[in-house]
Amino acid sequence: MTSSTRDKMIAGAADLMSRRGVNATSMRDVVRHTATPRGSIGHHFPDGKRQLIAEAVTFAGKQVSTPLEKAMSDRGAIGGLRAFVASWRRRLEATGFEAGCPVLAVAVDRDVGEASDKDDEATRQNLLDLADGVFTEWRLIMRAALLREGLAAERAERLATLVIASIEGTVAMCRASRSADALDQVQDELETVLSDALARAAG
C-alpha cells in the first residue's frame, strides 16, 4: 500500500465522478476501476468515501488549474482560452463524450456519501465548498490574465466568470449531443467577446 496506490485511487475516483457523477461512484467501484486492494480504502481513506471524493475534487481542480495558469502566462488570455477549450475537447473526444467535469458533478449531485455515512448535510456542504474553491481558482487565473492585458478589475472579474461558466455548461451540452460543435461555437463567441474587451482597454 504505497502512496502511488492512494494517488491511483484519487485519480480513479475523479475519473469515475466525471463519467457517472458522485452518487453513482462507490468505493467498491473505485477499487475495481483502479485495480487496487480493497484493504487500501481504510488504510488511505479512514473517513471513507467523503474523504476520497474531497481528495478527488482537489486533484481534479489542480489537473485543470496548473496547465491553465501556464497557458495563460505563456500565451495570454486568448491563447490560454484556446488551450483551455482544447483540453476539454481532447477529454471529451478521448472518452467518447462520456467524461465531463468531476468538479461540476460534485456541485450538482445531491447524495454524495455511502449508505453508512453520517452527517450527510455537513459532508455535502464541505464538498460544495471545495467545488466552489476550484471554480474560484479557475476564475482567478483567467481574471489575472485579463488584468495583465489591461482590463479593469470589475470587467476582468465578469469576463472570467463568463468564460468558466460557459465552458463548464458547454462540456455538459457536448456530452449530451455526443459532439464538440457547441464547444467550437462557444469558443468563437468567447474569443470575440474577449478580443473586443481587450481592444477597448488598449484603445
> Distance from CA of residue 134 to its chain's centroid?
7
Domain ranges of the chain: 61-202
Instruction: For 72-120, write each residue's pLDDT tens digit.
Output: 999 999 999 999 999 999 999 999 999 999 999 999 886 665 554 555 7
Element (H, E) at 103: helix 102-108
Q: How far is CA 25 from CA 2, 47, 127, 156, in A?
A: 23, 16, 15, 36
Which of 16-25, 129-138, 151-160 comes out lowest in average pLDDT?
16-25
Q: What is the pLDDT of residues 179-189, one digit of tens each?
A: 999 999 999 99
The architecture in CATH of the region 61-202 reads Orthogonal Bundle (1.10)
Spatial separation of the C-alpha atoms in residues 146 and 156, rounded to whole Å: 6
Residues 6+ apart with CB under 8 A from 128: 106, 107
Q: How many CB atoms lie within 10 A of CB 80?
A: 24
d(CA 195, CA 76): 11
pTM of the model: 0.90
User: Are the CB atoms for 8 and 55 separated by under 8 Å?
Assistant: no
